[in-house]
Every structure is written in structure tokens, then in C-alpha cells.
Amino acid sequence: MRLARLVKILWVAHRFGLDEFLLGSEQFPALRRLVHPLSARRKIEKPRAVRLRQALENLGPIFVKFGQVLSTRRDLLPPDIADELARLQDSVPPFDSGLVVQTLERVYGRPLRQVFASFDIKPMASASVAQVHLAQLPDGTRAAVKILRPKIDRVIANDVALLYSAAALVEVLWKDGKRLKPRAVVAEFERHLRDELDLMLEAANASQLRRNFAGSPLLRVPEVYWDWCSSEVMVMESMAGIPISQVDALRAQGVDLARLARSGVEIFFTQVFRDGFFHGDMHPGNILVDAQGRYIALDFGIMGTLSDADKSYLARNFLAFFRRDYRRVAQAHLEAGWVPRDTRVDEFESAIRAVCEPIFDKPLKEISFGRVLLRLFQTSRRFNVEIQPQLVLLQKTLLNIEGLGRELDPDLDLWQTAKPYLERWMSEQVGWRALTRHMREEAPHWGVALPQLPRLLYRRLLAGDSDAIAAQLASAAAEQKRQARWLIALSVVLAVLLVAQLIQLFV
């Protein structure tokens, strides 16, 4: 199967003229001469970036999804290709209704009519890994049923193996290949895909995000109906709303688009910096807006997580950017170990200033984060900045936020919207609020440990005495061994002298 898949990939690559990406390298002149007769009669008119996007769409949903992830790595791709890959849409035909019924009856172990009061066999949405149907639970509750595509795990395993091979080639062909960690990008992609193949994990993600935003006036997350969930089927609350991309419909419903845009920024920064747990696939198809102007999040297969160190690093950098403190940005990279220690801070600071200064005091409609990221990556290449694979998903989410912001309110001042929130978050992390919070969090542990301190101290003192006694005994034993060795040596010497004397007497 993998061989057949490889043959198809090679055929698609030839059809869309992708061989120029490989054969353009000076490392393969002989291969270029060999393939040239095969491609000489081929008629290619479209730009290379368009052809690459079309080839990925032709190869199927897994390559489309990887292209979406790859579009965020502007350090790895030329700008024309990165821009074109960002246009990839994960639109996949639904699988056969007979397979839908077969999967559900196998999972539940009984006929479909005994599981749901009603079930719409026509899917309301279809994506690369799963599709969604509307249904009604036995008690009349309206629900959305997400069903994994049959045998999708095999397809993914084969395609990911081929992507690893391609990443290895990238490391050979590109001068900066090892620094840019293409295999780490594939590994990150594989991890997210593997999580998407277990709908129980997605259900847990949805449940966590819902708990994080319980009672929030900004974001709604569907409730998970656990009794109907399995690794292949996820059943959750059916949510009604207008897709966020339908701006005219939102305006007709009376939604304040400017306020909606500001709420989106706050939701994003709340997920990243308060929770370290954020929605990693925020394209318009996964976001609705209800009648009250609240966001509705859908599809929780790809969620990003950040460590405390990552959150602190990002927050300090964001704040430094907002305050135009580029020296602090440069120092933060040095402190994190992301640039070589011999890097001159003043040179790095000047390079960052040249990238960021032109974008301040401009509305969102005049700023392209894609171009800013491109220039930042060019700077990172110059200063040998080590790429952090765990932040690739966050970068993709930032680009999604940019697109949504442009649709809702092109005049949104992203900096002024985000700065107060970040300053408040930082004060909670490093100010007196942080001290109070940490003391409150540690109070239960101190309540348990304090009564035990006298006993633990007594044991330690006893252990210290025992250690001293043991050390004395060991020292005495070592002294005895040393004395024994001297006695043995002396005995040998006396024996030799005695033998010598006896020999002289007999001679």
C-alpha cells in the first residue's frame, strides 16, 4: 500500500511540475539531466506555489492538513509558497452513509434506531479525519455526532512515513535544514494527527476548554455527552450560530463587529497566558457566533499547550514589543538559549527594531503578520535563532487571528487591545498578586508538612549521628587494613632476611 501511495505521489508531483523543487538543487545535476526528457513535453503555465497547493489538494486531506501547518513555517518556505499554502481549505467529500451506520452499530453494539431517537444520515460537515451528523438523544436532546473516517489511521500512518522521508531530504537539500528542524515539524504534525484519531481525547479537550470558560460572556463550548462517546464517536451539544466568516449575516443580526473583534483577542490571550491551553485550529469553519454575539468554538482535535516557561517567555516578549523595548526582546532570546551566547545584543536589538517599528501605530488593515513573521524569520536565520517546534501551532493560531480580525474590524488596534491584558497577567505572575496567589496555593501543602517538621528534624538528626558513627567505623576499619598491610610487608621482609642469614651460615 505504501508503495502504491508513493507511486501516486510521484505521479502527482510530475503532473504538477514539482520536480523543480528537487531538481533545482545543485546537489543533483545528474538526476536533473535524467528527468529532463520526461518533463520536456509537459506544459506548465501556473506559478510554482499554485501548483504545489493544487498537488497537495490532489493528494488528499492529510497532505492538505500538513500544508496548512507548513504554511506557518515561513522560516522554512519562500514567501510566495507560504502565502499560497495558507489558502488551503480542508474541504473533503463525505464518506458513504452505509459506513456511517456500520461504524455506529459496531461501536454501540445495537441497531442505530435503538441508540438515537433520530439521526440525520446526511452530514452537516465533513473534514479530513471525521464528519459530523445531527441527531437526537433518547430524551429529546439535540446533539452533534462526530464519526471518525473508516481506516483513516492506515492512510495517516503511510502518509506520515512518507513525510518523514521528505523532511530528511529537506535537511540534506537546505543549508539551514538541521537548524529549522523539519523532522521535528513532521513529528509535531504527527502528534496532533494521532490525537485527532482518538475522539475521546477530543472530547476531553472540549470538556477542559468548557471548564476553563465556564460562565464566560465571551465564549461558549459545547457540552460533551460522555455516555455516547468512544474513540471513534464523539457526541456533544448541538450549537446554533452564524459562521464567523459571514460578516454580512452577523451585521444583519445586530452583532457589534468591533466588540466581537476585541473579544476574540481577549479570548486568545486568555487561552494562551492564563490557561496555557488554546484552540489550535481556529479557521472560520470552526467558529460560530450566537444571537448574543458570543463566540462558539467547534472541533477540538488540535489543541495547543504551553509550559509555564513558554508562557513567561511569550508574555515578556509581547510586553516588550508593545513597549517597543527591543533590547529586552533580544535579551529574552539570549536568556532562553534560543540564540548563541556570543550574539551581540545591540546588533540583535537593531535587527528586531527594523522589523517591528514600522508596524506600530497602524490599524490591523495596514499590518500583515505574515510579512512581519517572514522578516522575523529572516532575522532569526541571520542570528542562528533556534526554532522552537512547540510554538509552531501558536504561530498558526496567530495567523488565523489576523485573518479573523481583518474580516470583523480592519481598524482594530491589536496592540492597545492586548497590552492591558498582558500587563495584568504579568503582574499576576511576578508582582505581589503572584506572591499572594502562590502562598494561597501552597497553604494546603504547608498545612500538611508543618506538623511533621519536628519528627522529620529528629529523624534527620538521628540519621546524622548514624552517619557520623558509620564514618568513624569505616575510618577505623580502613586504619586496621592499613596496619595489616604493613605487618604483612614487614613479615615478608623479615622472612627474606632470615632466609639470607641461613644461606650464609650453610655457605
> pLDDT tens digits, residue range 207-259?
999 999 999 999 999 999 999 999 999 999 999 999 988 889 999 999 999 89
If pLDDT is split at 50, 70 and 90, which confidence band does 38 have?
Answer: low
454 within domain boundaries = no
* Structural domain containing residue 430: 240-441
Mean pLDDT, to the nearest integer, of 461-467?
A: 60
If pLDDT is split at 50, 70 and 90, which confidence band does 184 have?
Answer: confident
Predicted pLDDT of residue 506: 45
418 within domain boundaries = yes
Q: What distance in Å separates the CA atoms of residue 257 and residue 243, rounded to the nearest whole number?
A: 13
* Exposure of 202 in the CB half-sphere (CA atoms within 13 A): 31
Residue 325 has pLDDT above 60, yes or no: yes
Number of domains in the chain: 1
Residue of higher predicted confidence among 411 and 6: 411
Residue 55 has pLDDT above 70, yes or no: yes
Question: All 3 cell numbers of residue 24?
Answer: 533545482
Q: Which of 203-207, 414-418, 501-505 has the highest mean pLDDT?
A: 203-207
468 within domain boundaries = no
Residue 344 has pLDDT above 70, yes or no: yes
Question: All 3 cell numbers of residue 495?
Answer: 622472612
- Tell me whether residue 281 is one of the annotated catalytic residues: yes
Predicted pLDDT of residue 473: 55
Predicted pLDDT of residue 236: 97
If pLDDT is split at 50, 70 and 90, which confidence band does 182 have?
Answer: confident
Q: Which of 248-252, 262-266, 340-344 has the highest mean pLDDT?
A: 248-252
Q: SS3 string of 151-192?
A: CHHHHHHHHHHHHHHHHHHHHHHCCCHHHHCHHHHHHHHHHH
For Cα atoms 176, 85, 195, give the angle at the middle one, nearest 5 degrees.
Answer: 85
Q: What distance in Å separates the CA atoms of residue 231 and residue 229, rounded to the nearest whole number?
A: 7
Q: What is the mean pLDDT of the chain?
A: 77
Give the chain's end-to-end CA distance (angstroms, integer): 97
Q: Which of 49-63, 214-228, 363-377 has the highest mean pLDDT?
A: 214-228
Mean pLDDT, to the nearest integer, of 489-505?
A: 49
135-139, 288-292, 411-415: segment of lowest average pLDDT: 411-415
Q: What distance in Å separates the CA atoms of residue 339 and residue 356, rounded to the nearest whole number?
A: 19
Q: What distance in Å separates the CA atoms of residue 116 and residue 114, rounded to the nearest whole number?
A: 6
If pLDDT is split at 50, 70 and 90, which confidence band does 289 have?
Answer: very high
263-272, 345-354, 469-478: segment of lowest average pLDDT: 469-478
Mean pLDDT, to the nearest integer, of 136-162?
A: 89
387 within domain boundaries = yes
420-458 b/e with 16+ CB inside 10 Å = b? ebbeebbeebeeeeeeeeeeeeeeeeeeeeeeeeeeeee
Residue of higher predicted confidence among 55 and 458: 55
Q: What is the largest CA-CA distance in the chain?
A: 131
Question: All 3 cell numbers of residue 147?
Answer: 464519526
Nearest by Cα to 372 from 348, 399, 349: 399
If pLDDT is split at 50, 70 and 90, which confidence band does 169 have?
Answer: confident
Residue 73 has pLDDT above 70, yes or no: no
Mean pLDDT, to the nearest integer, of 329-354?
A: 80
Q: Is 287 helix (H, G, I), strand (E, B) or coil?
A: strand
347 within domain boundaries = yes
What is the chain's alpha carbon radius of gyration, rounded to the nearest angstrom?
Answer: 32
Burial class of 342 by CB neighbour count within 10 A (0 to 12, 13 to 18, 19+): exposed
Residue 41 has pLDDT above 60, yes or no: no
Q: Is 373 helix (H, G, I), strand (E, B) or coil?
A: helix
Residue of higher predicted confidence among 102 and 312: 102
> Which sign, positive or negative, has the C-alpha torsion 47, 49, 50, 52?
positive
Q: 3-state DSSP helix/strand/coil percent for the chain, to nearest 5?
A: 65, 10, 25
Given the C-alpha cell 655457605, which residue does it identify? 507
Q: What distance in Å separates the CA atoms of residue 240 and residue 290, rounded to the nearest whole number?
A: 7
If pLDDT is split at 50, 70 and 90, which confidence band does 31 have?
Answer: very low
Q: What distance in Å separates the CA atoms of residue 111 and residue 22, rounded to the nearest whole number?
A: 52
Given the C-alpha cell 526554532, which residue does it identify? 387
16-30, 104-118, 121-135, 164-178: segment of lowest average pLDDT: 16-30
405 within domain boundaries = yes
Residue 294 has pLDDT above 70, yes or no: yes
Burial class of 58 by CB neighbour count within 10 A (0 to 12, 13 to 18, 19+): middle
Predicted pLDDT of residue 297: 94
Q: Which of 39-43, 74-78, 482-486 has the highest mean pLDDT?
A: 74-78
If pLDDT is split at 50, 70 and 90, which confidence band does 272 have?
Answer: confident
Nearest by Cα to 188 from 268, 305, 333, 279: 305
> Which residues, 6+ apart, have CB-to-CB distance to 503 below 8 Å?
none
Mean pLDDT, to the nearest integer, of 381-409?
A: 71
Nearest by Cα to 16 from 32, 34, 47: 47
Q: Is 409 helix (H, G, I), strand (E, B) or coil?
A: coil
259 within domain boundaries = yes
Give residue 503's region: left, alpha or beta (phi > 0; psi -120 to 50). Answer: alpha
Q: Which residue in 19, 90, 159, 281 is the catalytic one?
A: 281
If pLDDT is split at 50, 70 and 90, which confidence band does 502 have?
Answer: very low
275 within domain boundaries = yes
Mean pLDDT, to the nearest integer, of 188-196?
A: 78
Q: Which of 94-108, 338-352, 373-387, 476-490 has the highest mean pLDDT?
A: 94-108
Q: Are strands 303-305 and 295-297 parallel, antiparallel or unpaired?
A: unpaired
Quote the pTM value: 0.71
Q: What distance in Å separates the CA atoms of residue 68 and residue 90, rounded to the nearest whole number?
A: 9
Q: What distance in Å separates the CA atoms of residue 264 and residue 252, rounded to the nearest whole number?
A: 20
Predicted pLDDT of residue 26: 45
**In contact, 339 and 348? CB cutoff 8 Å:** yes
